[in-house]
Amino acid sequence: MIKQQLLNRIADKSAVIGIVGLGYVGLPLMLRFAEVGYKVLGFDIDQGKVDTLMAGQSYIEHISADSIATALERGFEATTDFSRVPEADTLILCVPTPLNKYREPDLSFVLDTMDSLVPYLREGQLVSLESTTYPGTTDEELLPRMESRGLKVGDNAFLVFSPEREDPGNPNFTTRTIPKVCGGVTPACQEIGVALYSAVIDKVVPVSSTRAAEMTKLLENIHRAVNIGLVNEMKIVADKMGIDIHEVIRAAATKPFGFVPYYPGPGLGGHCIPIDPFYLTWKAREYGVNTRFIELAGEVNSNMPDYVVSKVAAALNQRKKAINGSRVLVLGIAYKKNVDDMRESPSVFLMEKLRDLGAEVAYSDPHVPVFPKMREHRFELSSVALSNEAISGYDCVLLATDHDKFDYAQIKAHAQLVVDSRGKYLEPAANIVKA
């Protein structure tokens, strides 16, 4: 029986694990499967990434070269050659799901990847999609593609959705310790998906369908987006009233029930929170439903960079300076603290808005030494080293991402003006403006 054969191969670790997409999600998953003794075959369309990995190097800051080298010793191999797909018993898809310019789901990475796999799919394989998407993607898009190959899903091939839950830079959770949600197209698919992930993750949470699993991931991220939108709005209200929202949040967080602290910032960043809610908004239209909460939170959050820039303008104006011609140093351009990931970073939007207003913009980020090539954002800049002299040479220092590596006392002591969008400075000071 094909199902039992695959279950046996997963159980005795003779199954070859194929991971498609070797980025922030696929790479940690590869390391975990290799760690417990599976042979992992990694696929990526980027030859540069494949070459880097095969040389025992890493291109993600929080993943060490040593861990890649160890995985290679354990049999890990990376390739751009999709004709090797039949070697894998499981194919786990970890590819991006961005939005297009109309803020609609862009499934091109998922569908192009699947179309590249289909000619090589064989009996006895499990396909698992981990990319965040709208409910229905797995059974509306992936299932027909697999069956076009002549496979019968649930009988001689298997399909599940199991959303990624990586949190780069969070020292308290690892791939192993974050519970894994898994929904199958059929009960047989579910059984194999749960067996696969149970081999490497401490707790697997089965749900009744791929749609329930897809919706679970969206709810998690919408929950964050809506609550961050709420505190961002509260920040603006509190500021008008002369109240420090961070003091209020700290006080409210002492309540041992019924309150979860969320923190305001200069906008939303990362590959999930600014994007995923719109996947549901888009799909809900098909059912005649308006997702007003989600859209309102998105509106509030996407307006935060403008709010921060207005605070920079007002603070400079108070010092008889215009943004036009001012030297502004942006501290932190990754989307969150202590990582090198710049996807959807609000810092980049802040830099563009300031540049458009005539500011001379520079940045300092210990995690991003050179501003990377990005599809939609262009800066020819390198990170500024934070000497006392360098800090004092800027008209404004804008704290956008609060990395732990910054010396906040040094910045406060030497900056002419600090605009703090992260609530890092608790005590009032003449040269600090909260945004």
78 forms bridges with which residues in the sheet? Answer: 42
Could you give the CA distance from residue 323 to residue 308 in angstroms, rounded to a whole number? 13
Per the annotation, the verdict on 272 as an active-site residue is yes
The tokens describing 198, both together, are 């149970």
How many other C-beta atoms lie within 10 A of the C-beta of residue 52?
A: 17
DSSP letter for each residue of 289-320:
---HHHHHHHHHHHTHHHHHHHHHHHHHHHTT
Phi, psi at 217, each rounded to 5°: -65, -40
Give the pairing type, strands 77-79 and 16-20: unpaired
The tokens describing 69, both together, are 């080298």
The Cβ-side half-sphere exposure at 191, using a 13 Å CA radius, reads 14
Angle between helix axes 210-240 and 292-302 (nearest 10 degrees) is 50
Question: Sheet containing 39-43: which strands, arranged edge to edge?
Answer: 77-79, 39-43, 16-20, 90-93, 126-129, 158-161, 180-184, 204-207
Contact criterion met (CB below 8 Å) for 306 and 232: no
Catalytic residue among 94, 182, 189, 272: 272
Active site residues: 272
